[in-house]
Structure 1
Amino acid sequence: MGKTQSKLFSSKNVKFDTQGNEVAINASTTGTAPRRNSSAREGSVTTPQGSRRFGSFAGKFVLQYVDGQSRPRPPVEDFDGQNENQLRSGAARMRQELDSIYKAVAIMNQLALELDINKAVDNVRDVVLELLHCERVTLFMVDSQQKELRARVSNPNEVFEMIRIPFGVGIAGRVAETGTSMNIMDAYHCDLFNPSIDKKTGFTTRNILCCPISDMSGNHVAVIQALNKKDGYFTTGDEANLELFGVHLGNTLSKSRFHTTALAEKQRMGKLYEAFRHINTAGTTLDQLVSIILRAVHQLVYAERSMLLFVDQARDHLWTKWFRGTALDNKDISMVVKLNESNLLTRVAQTNEGICQHNVLTGEVASVIGSVMGIQSAKSVLIQPILDVRNGKCLAMVCAMDKSEQIENAFFSDPNFNSGDQNAIAVFAMEVATILSERSLEISFASALSTVTATGGSAAAGDLDQVLEAQLMSYVGNEDIESIASSISRSLSNKRSPSHSTRCSMEQSPGDAPQLVAQSLSASLSQQKPSPKKEAQRLALNREQLRRWDLDICAYTTEDLLKLVYDIFADSGVVEHFHLDERKLMSFIAAVCSHYHANPYHNFCHVVYVLHGCYMIMMTTEANKCLTRVDQLVLLISALCHDIDHDGHTNSFHINTNSPLAQRYNDLSVMENHHCAITFAILAKRDCSLLDHLDKPLRQEIRRLIIAGILATDMTFHFSLTTDFKNHSNFSIEKEDERLLLVKSILHAADISNPVRTFIVNCNMSHRVHNEFRLQVSEERKLGITPMLHMDAKDERVQCQLESNFIDFVVTPLWEHMALRFPGLQVCLDQIRANRDAYKQLAERTPTAIAAAMKRALANPKTADAASIQAWALQCEQEELQAVAATIKLPNSATSAGSAAAEPAATTAPAPEQVLPASGPGSVPSTGGVGERERGAGEAELASVSRASTQKSLNGGSSRASSLDATSSSVVSSGGIRLAQGDEA
């Protein structure tokens, strides 16, 4: 300022008379090219505006806009310097301008002390009004990050509102973009001027002076726009004066902006503290906690809409039922988002990194959000993950959409979410993570009980009907398909019950229609309530199929399994006896199905096997005479729910990792206690309340028995339960303790009844068990936990040995006593022993041969049985031996023997698919060899040669060593086929 001020007041540039009036101004100080007056002294000029030339910068060049074109301002008219009146008038104007400057300086002194940004802006406007003698002044604050100007203006109703102008738009936008002043002498002839504003406000703009305002660092902080000079046009002197005060105005605005920003952050920290205090309040429910979290999100970032979504890793989706937003208040809205979808929510869940984006379609956030929230786009979206403090996985996420209009009226607020908002939410998420991690069990309950529709919101009934009609063709014929589809679409739109859950976690065969349609169809069919006569006829037709131990449940679709479960309940007689509501029963079955996850073994397929086993024991033996109707209902419900919400881990894993479930249940039957809790939570749901119509004492008794039955499936009770069952020679229906022991024993026997099934089913379920074991072993090794030996089978040969031992030491003792008490189960005991023998024989083959045979069997379950699997393993082993013989150079005698042994295999071995017909329930494969009696002399010779060769290979000894030279040894040791993999097993 000092340097500029010295130029303005230098006596070298201005001359005064004895009365202090201006006489002349040196021509070198003017910014125009005025004409010379011959009466004036050489080298000076005079202007009719006198003091208006005071304060002009040397070399300043001002443009005027006429007819949309810029051109130099025309020179001012000369005046007679000897005219005393003009001199006095010029001096008076100079004094007036000096007075204005003094007033402006006084206001500046007050302005320097002002920290409130709104008052500071008003003071700046007052300074400019006084300095430039104009009718109006607008101050635009510069937002360099958003590249826009912001101004607070009053509308015709005298209500202030915030306007935003992008850089480069209009006169002010052009000044902000270029950083140069613009002096418009005729606004309506300037292409950048927008006359519609005058029409809207009723104000007439004649001329405009628009200048950038910078702080002491040279950063543009504002743009001043002055309208309508009261006594003519804006001059270069006005520009100079504005530039003189501009730095001080810029510094004042920067200081106020810094203060406002600091105050806003202080307030935000206070809100963070309050949020931390509230979310740590003891005793709040999950609903209350989520409400506090969403309220805090609104206060921290002024989110117009927000939601908290939880990540359900087991079900592979995000879910929520909590929203905050004016349009969503007091609405019961539920939503689920599959983690295999491509959207912003899924990206955050997978990367654990927050996202802040502007101008986003709701479909990019998640496909269901548009229909749920009633909007199609958002100005900005902020998504922040909440990571579990125990393992670093994404536990939940906060999604905020659009800043509220209320905050947008502030000068320095961002209309969109910015890095400051993202940092605030990130800090908040760290505290929330601690709280949610401590309540993970409660969250898992809420997740398990969440009832959501497939679309996550409403859908047009007509469109949904068309989709369902197309899908239903795979389940029913053309008859009544339209009415069924309409019924399902109505139930989906109304979100009636858990029967419309979006998933049923189990392995399905390819080509199945969507699970949602299957489950909804089940509910729809149950709602049609067929006549008792037709229902009895349908059950009579299905009863023969139901009461077979060789039922291949693995081949069933989800829809078939749901119908099968319903038929078991109906055929047992408990539905009729207890007058169970059929709709509630179907809803209950579908809800239970939806809470079994996609584990390799502990899924809905396994539980239907167990339920079917209980049904078979109860309905095909004398056991039903020892059980009351209450016991039968308890047995069926317990069987259906005994592994519900299983996460694929054993109790020991939960105990060793000190999981929330282990903490909740004090390391006692951890998963079994959890299964009980989820069972009764579902039964408490309105649409699944099967037992609500029963008397309270009866409901309490059923609850007690179900808990006892499910807890008895804990394998730690196996030997004590087997002993107790063995010590009871008879079971009396009159004794409650004996009936309860029988219920426990039947349920546990069915839970370990895989060896009761055909060998191919047994192999299939065994394969799934070991796959689930491998997943846990992998996790345990990452956590530094030593896996249990029986869970860490290194190859298929060891698996066969483990299965054989499991049958001998676990399954057979219990089922032997079951067959003694109920002779109708002798066929099951025979199958158990046959499967045990088959595993023992299969364990004699090489691991690679067993693996190849199993793979082929599982791919062709309808043609596979114990004998064919043995034959396939034998064939694979022979192919291995021939490959070794071709690779390793053997002595002539060994080569001849190998050729002699290989030739019958090529000429007499039958196709594996033609070995034997599939064995039925109770059939016992030959235990004296692999099909010697059935296949004839040629195959017997093949089998004997194979065994002899394999035995030599596996035993390793001098005979094999003498037959292999140094070359063959090097080939074997350098990566050839290892035939002795199972020796140490």
Structure 2
Amino acid sequence: MTFVLTFILFRSYVLGHLLTAFELYEEKRVRFQTQTLLQVARRLLGKIGDLGQLLRGVMAEARELAKAERCSLFLLDKDTGELVSKVFDGNAVTQRKSSREIRISGHQGIAGHVAQTGKLLNIHNAYQHPLFYKGIDEQTGFKTRNILCFPICDEERVIGVAQLCNKIDGFHFDKCDEETATAFSVYCGISIMHSMVHKRVQKAEARYKLSQELLLFHMKVPDIDVRNCLNSTYLHSAEEKFPTFDTFEFCPRDVDEHSSIYLCIKMFKDLDFIALFKIPEEKLARFLLLVQKGYRNTPYHNWFHAFSVAHFSYVCMKNLRLMERGIITKLQGLSFLISCLCHDLDHRGFNNSYMTQSGSQLARLYSSEGSINERHHLSQAICILNDPGSKILDSLSTEQFMESIDYLRELILATDLANHFRIFKQLKTLNPENIVDNQRMLLSLLMTCCDLNDQIKMWTTVHSVAELVYTEFFAQGDLERQMGLNPNLMMDRKKACIPALQIEFLDTVVTPTFEIFVQIFPEKSDFLQTISINREHWVEVKEKETTKNGSSC
């Protein structure tokens, strides 16, 4: 009887107070969570102009909200279906040690499952869960105990996944953490979506400004200039003036500006591209004149460099009979020659590093993709090829056109030496037996050799080209010093020893590259002999400067 009375009293009075207290606690918790999330949202919106900074902010906030050891954030790549993370965790030290991106299948592991289903997963024991992918732990050395993984969505679909690992002040993530994560994901999705839109707007603005620069800097090609290019008398005169034009020994830098256009037309004719691809000669002439105008008057990266690079591709195709022997196709040959002509279009005389450090419009447009200058050159080439008066690829089928543009992209990007060194080990495997099966790799090598072709010419050419190169380098170094930066040694006119730098350049870049070329085409072993002779000349110059200055250059 006493027990019953006690229970009735408890239910009537104590239980009521307990429920009221619990409701009050829940109300305070929800209010605190809401206030916290609003503060988080305000901080995230402050980072909306920089996607990388925003993503790091998202991870730091999520980690703090849920009291987790680590947070990983993956965005869904629409093109590949992969989950991609460039900033893998919120730990700043780890980020400094490794900035490489991590990619996993959009169907793989816990993150993949959440991306596919759009539903949160709370896993108390990671290694016992069938979806857990150990590969990430193996790559990072991190030991995962428990996981709270939730989707990040925009207005239509899942755009990414956040993964919290290892609860700090508890055994595992609880229901409260799940609620916080669900609410937080809404703010994440809004912030990331707006950041991406902001980035697209920035790119559009940068493209517009670049287009304006291009329009202001370059003029339209007058019709009279086009007609003059097609004058057979002028063409024959140029051919007679340079009878050894189709040999490797010829120095294209000896050609004047006007003759260079006629000789470019000769390249297209000799290689049978005009007849085979039904290129209207008027459009070809206008294309060449536009490309010529597309080069700025920089000391080295100018039209004469482009003409020299194109000439080397021409003599390679003609003298090594690359197309006749089936080593490359005619379409590849056409794309190769066009790439050489266009590979440095609108070069401003500054390297990719300077473009990034100076915060240039080009860097804003292309820095996330790498090869800033090269991507700009490609963009300008495609603009000229799309000009109604210079559409030299108009007669190609849709498939041929797309293939040609694809080669154009690959070959122009191949002129970034960073890309060349990235595939250098693969290039070393090329030989006469396997080049037909590795045409893209071969073309990449040939493009680099074309870009370096000055180094296999006579000493007078090599020496004069070096002067042009360092005039451009030192101008950049002077600007970097004005910006408060320390120029690279080769850019610093006060410290650079040109002969020593050229010897190093020959040893580390030119000789190894042409050794592969000669490995494929042994009949051109004389290239290596010429490089060796030029190296000896630089050694002599270095010794003279050392004697003259009384100290080692």
Shorter-chain TM-score category?
A: 0.5 to 0.7
Query: Which residue matches 2:479?
Result: 779
Q: Is the alpha carbon distance of 1:539 and 1:820 closer, same or farther for their aligned partners in structure 2, counting shifts above 3 Å? A: farther
Instruction: Tell me how far 1:574 sits from its aligned partner.
Output: 1.2
Instruction: Tell me how far 1:665 sits from its aligned partner.
Output: 1.1
Written as runs of structure 1 = structure 2, the 5 A alignment for 1:439-518 is 439-449=205-215, 498-500=220-222
Query: Which residue matches 1:979?
Result: 549
Instruction: Tell me how far 1:792 sits from its aligned partner.
Output: 1.9
Query: Which residue matches 1:397?
Result: none
Instruction: Tell me how far 1:618 sits from its aligned partner.
Output: 1.8
Per the normalisation by structure 2, the TM-score is 0.59
1:757 aligns with 2:457: yes
- Counterpart amino acid of residue 211 in structure 2: F
Query: Which residue matches 2:345?
Result: 644
Alpha-carbon separation, structure 2, partners of 1:747 and 1:785: 32
Alpha-carbon separation, structure 1, partners of 2:279 and 2:343: 21
Question: Do the aligned residues in 2 keep the contact of 1:499 with 1:588 (CA within 8 Å)?
Answer: no
Moved more, 698-707 or 571-580: 571-580
Question: Do the aligned residues in 1 keep the contact of 2:414 with 2:448 (CA within 8 Å)?
Answer: yes
Larger RCO (alpha carbons 8 Å, 6+ apart): 2
Query: Which residue matches 1:723?
Result: 425
Query: Which residue matches 2:410?
Result: 708
Instruction: Tell me how far 1:499 sits from its aligned partner.
Output: 2.6
Q: How many residues align?
A: 350
- Counterpart amino acid of residue 595 in structure 1: G
Question: Do the aligned residues in 2 keep the contact of 1:543 with 1:571 (CA within 8 Å)?
Answer: no
Question: Do the aligned residues in 2 keep the contact of 1:566 with 1:586 (CA within 8 Å)?
Answer: yes
How far does the alpha carbon of each residue in 1:652-700 deviate from its partner, in whole angstroms, 9 at most, with x for none?
A: 0111222221121134100000011000011111111111222111111
Gap runs ≥5 in structure 1? 1-434, 454-497, 501-519, 848-949, 951-977
Q: Is the alpha carbon distance of 1:586 and 1:783 closer, same or farther for their aligned partners in structure 2, counting shifts above 3 Å? A: same
Instruction: Tell me how far 1:448 sits from its aligned partner.
Output: 2.2
Query: Which residue matches 2:227?
Result: 524
Alpha-carbon separation, structure 2, partners of 1:746 and 1:687: 30
Alpha-carbon separation, structure 2, partners of 1:807 and 1:540: 33
* Aligned counterpart for 2:511 among listed residues 812, 821, 824: 812
1:823 aligns with 2:545: no
Question: Do the aligned residues in 1 keep the contact of 2:371 with 2:416 (CA within 8 Å)?
Answer: yes
How far does the alpha carbon of each residue in 1:629-664 deviate from its partner, in whole angstroms, 9 at most, with x for none?
A: 011001100000000000111000111222221121
Question: Do the aligned residues in 2 keep the contact of 1:499 with 1:589 (CA within 8 Å)?
Answer: no
- Counterpart amino acid of residue 549 in structure 2: L
* Aligned counterpart for 1:601 among listed residues 296, 300, 306: 300
3-state secondary structure, aligned to 1:439: helix
The Cα RMSD (Å) is 2.8
Structure (1/2) with the larger strand percentage = 1
Instruction: Tell me how far 1:764 sits from its aligned partner.
Output: 0.8
Query: Which residue matches 2:364?
Result: 663
Query: Which residue matches 1:691?
Result: 393
Alpha-carbon separation, structure 2, partners of 1:721 and 1:572: 29
1:558 aligns with 2:257: yes
Written as runs of structure 1 = structure 2, the 5 A alignment for 1:283-302 is none
Alpha-carbon separation, structure 2, partners of 1:542 and 1:743: 31
Alpha-carbon separation, structure 1, partners of 2:374 and 2:434: 28
Query: Which residue matches 1:37?
Result: none
Query: Which residue matches 1:480?
Result: none
3-state secondary structure, aligned to 2:543: coil
Written as runs of structure 1 = structure 2, the 5 A alignment for 1:794-809 is 794=494, 798-809=497-508
Alpha-carbon separation, structure 2, partners of 1:528 and 1:806: 42
Moved more, 655-664 or 770-779: 655-664
3-state secondary structure, aligned to 1:774: helix
- Counterpart amino acid of residue 557 in structure 1: D
Per the normalisation by structure 1, the TM-score is 0.34
Question: Do the aligned residues in 2 keep the contact of 1:549 with 1:756 (CA within 8 Å)?
Answer: no
Question: Do the aligned residues in 1 keep the contact of 2:384 with 2:390 (CA within 8 Å)?
Answer: yes
Instruction: Tell me how far 1:723 sits from its aligned partner.
Output: 2.2
Gap runs ≥5 in structure 2? 1-200
Query: Which residue matches 2:84?
Result: none
1:576 aligns with 2:290: no
How far does the alpha carbon of each residue in 1:209-241 deviate from its partner, in whole angstroms, 9 at most, with x for none?
A: xxxxxxxxxxxxxxxxxxxxxxxxxxxxxxxxx
Alpha-carbon separation, structure 1, partners of 2:289 and 2:227: 12
Instruction: Tell me how far 1:620 sits from its aligned partner.
Output: 1.4
Alpha-carbon separation, structure 2, partners of 1:689 and 1:623: 26
Question: Do the aligned residues in 1 keep the contact of 2:226 with 2:286 (CA within 8 Å)?
Answer: yes
Structure (1/2) with the larger helix percentage = 2
Instruction: Tell me how far 1:785 sits from its aligned partner.
Output: 1.6
1:675 aligns with 2:374: no
Alpha-carbon separation, structure 2, partners of 1:620 and 1:539: 20
Alpha-carbon separation, structure 2, partners of 1:617 and 1:791: 32
Question: Do the aligned residues in 1 keep the contact of 2:229 with 2:262 (CA within 8 Å)?
Answer: no
1:788 aligns with 2:488: yes
How far does the alpha carbon of each residue in 1:887-922 deviate from its partner, in whole angstroms, 9 at most, with x for none?
A: xxxxxxxxxxxxxxxxxxxxxxxxxxxxxxxxxxxx
Instruction: Tell me how far 1:757 sits from its aligned partner.
Output: 0.8
Written as runs of structure 1 = structure 2, the 5 A alignment for 1:32-111 is none
Question: Do the aligned residues in 2 keep the contact of 1:753 with 1:811 (CA within 8 Å)?
Answer: no
Query: Which residue matches 2:88?
Result: none
Q: Is the alpha carbon distance of 1:759 and 1:641 closer, same or farther for their aligned partners in structure 2, counting shifts above 3 Å? A: same
* Aligned counterpart for 2:335 among listed residues 619, 634, 637: 634
- Counterpart amino acid of residue 692 in structure 1: D
* Aligned counterpart for 2:322 among listed residues 609, 623, 644: 623
Question: Do the aligned residues in 1 keep the contact of 2:503 with 2:539 (CA within 8 Å)?
Answer: yes
- Counterpart amino acid of residue 747 in structure 1: M
How far does the alpha carbon of each residue in 1:819-843 deviate from its partner, in whole angstroms, 9 at most, with x for none?
A: 1211232222211110011101111
Q: Is the alpha carbon distance of 1:539 and 1:620 closer, same or farther for their aligned partners in structure 2, counting shifts above 3 Å? A: farther
Alpha-carbon separation, structure 2, partners of 1:657 and 1:528: 45
Alpha-carbon separation, structure 2, partners of 1:619 and 1:756: 18
* Aligned counterpart for 1:839 among listed residues 509, 534, 538: 538
- Counterpart amino acid of residue 221 in structure 2: S
Question: Do the aligned residues in 2 keep the contact of 1:596 with 1:646 (CA within 8 Å)?
Answer: yes
Instruction: Tell me how far 1:772 sits from its aligned partner.
Output: 0.3
- Counterpart amino acid of residue 352 in structure 2: N
